[in-house]
A and B are shown apart, each in its own frame.
Chain A
Amino acid sequence: MAVCEDKEQDPRIRRIASSIRVVPDFPKKGIMFQDITTLLLDPKAFKDTADLFVERYTGKGISVVAGVEARGFIFGPPIALAIGAKFIPLRKPRKLPGEVISENYVLEYGTDCLQMHVGAVQPGERALVVDDLIATGGTLCAAISLLERAGAEVVECACVIELPELKGREKLNGKPLYILMESH
């Protein structure tokens, strides 16, 4: 796991990076899966992860943290609670009750769909999108679209891990991406 150069200075990042487990051939052969559940078993590493995001986003006028199901539900709420923002779950189809808006996105094979509640976000709100990892960027791109369709301004996307070779960063409609570490 490569720690990003400019973050080499922060001693917390090394511990976080080393707490993440790589599981080969999951969900299928050839994929090296970045498993953050082992980070969640290290209370100091998990707290440091949350703190790093909170330090970055406190005092930036962010009123919405949108987390992508399901691992974005683990990292998003602690950030939202600490910075005084709402938490909005972005979910797979048919999970959210009531009125939703939907955004389709492309997978390696086929398509998927992400949904957000109508009325969760107001026009003009400043939003953060959180997920554990960015790969191709398809999911985050769909998340950005949902928030922008509701009139929010997406300030940044935040992930623990980036897989830079998959160039997800280029699919974020020009929105900036903040990550703690890369995996090659």
Chain B
Amino acid sequence: MASEGGEDHRLPRIASAIRVIPDFPKPGIMFQDITTLLLDHEAFRDTIDMFVERYRDKRITVVAGIEARGFIFGPPIALAIGCKFVPMRKPKKLPGEVISEEYSLEYGTDIMEMHVGAVQPGDRALVIDDLIATGGTLSAAIRLLERVGAEVVECACVIELPELQGSQRLGGKPLFVLVKAAAA
């Protein structure tokens, strides 16, 4: 697990708090488990602080968090910077009127939904998830936000798996991550 930009003294602790589980959810995949980061209060605090420091002066009006681990990191950031939090969810979880976006999985497709009316044209959005792999999920989130007229300022994740080149699937949107890791 390599820290991104070793200058920040908080990154080694954050990186070492993340547990790697081999062969989950299937053989060959090295799963980056952030639950152990959440057990280290100081490391979890530092993770949130690093995102908040980056975004507090960027006039962000909405943090969109991707179900489910994006729900853990997004709300503390939204609370600290004083903006809306919008959950981006699997199908049929959000009540009321939604818009949907289909995206590719390794085998097949999935659907992401966002509430109609949650985001306004001109909102400046941050998209949050724990990890970026292929970028499929994040790119679906970007499309949903742009369809309602928001400007996606950046995508932010704790971990990137650079070999999977997800950063190139974000429609030109920038990506900020704290740590980079091997996919397999």
Q: Which residues of A are at the interface with B, using a C-beta cutoff of 8 A?
A: 21, 23, 26-27, 33, 35, 37, 40-43, 46-47, 50, 69-71, 73-75, 77-78, 80-81, 84-89, 91, 94-98, 117, 120
Contact present for B35 and A96 (CB under 8 Å): yes
Most buried by A among B33, B40, B76, B89: B76
Q: Which residues of B contact A27 (CB under 8 A)?
A: 92, 95
Known: A50-B79, A73-B68. A86 touches B39 (CB 8 A): yes
**Are A74 and B75 within 8 A (Cβ)?**
yes
Residue of A nearest to B40 (CB): A86
Contact count A vs B, C-beta below 8 Å: 105
Q: How far is the CB of A35 from chain B (nearest CB, A)?
A: 5
B28 touches A (CB below 8 Å): no
Pairwise interchain contact B38-A86, C-beta atoms closer than 8 A: yes
Given known A-B contacts A23-B96, A41-B118, A88 and B87 have beta carbons under 8 A apart: no
Contact with A along B49-86 (1 / 0, CB 8 A): 00000000000000000011101110110110011111
Contacts of B84 in A (CB 8 A): 40-43
Determine the residue in chain B with the shortest Cβ distance to A73. Answer: B71
**Residues of the B chain whose Cβ atoms lie less than 8 Å from the Cβ of A91:** 68
- Chain B residues positioned under 8 Å from A98 (CB to CB): 19, 21, 24, 33
Shortest Cβ-Cβ A-B pairs, 7 listed: A23-B95, A73-B71, A26-B95, A97-B21, A97-B24, A87-B38, A40-B85
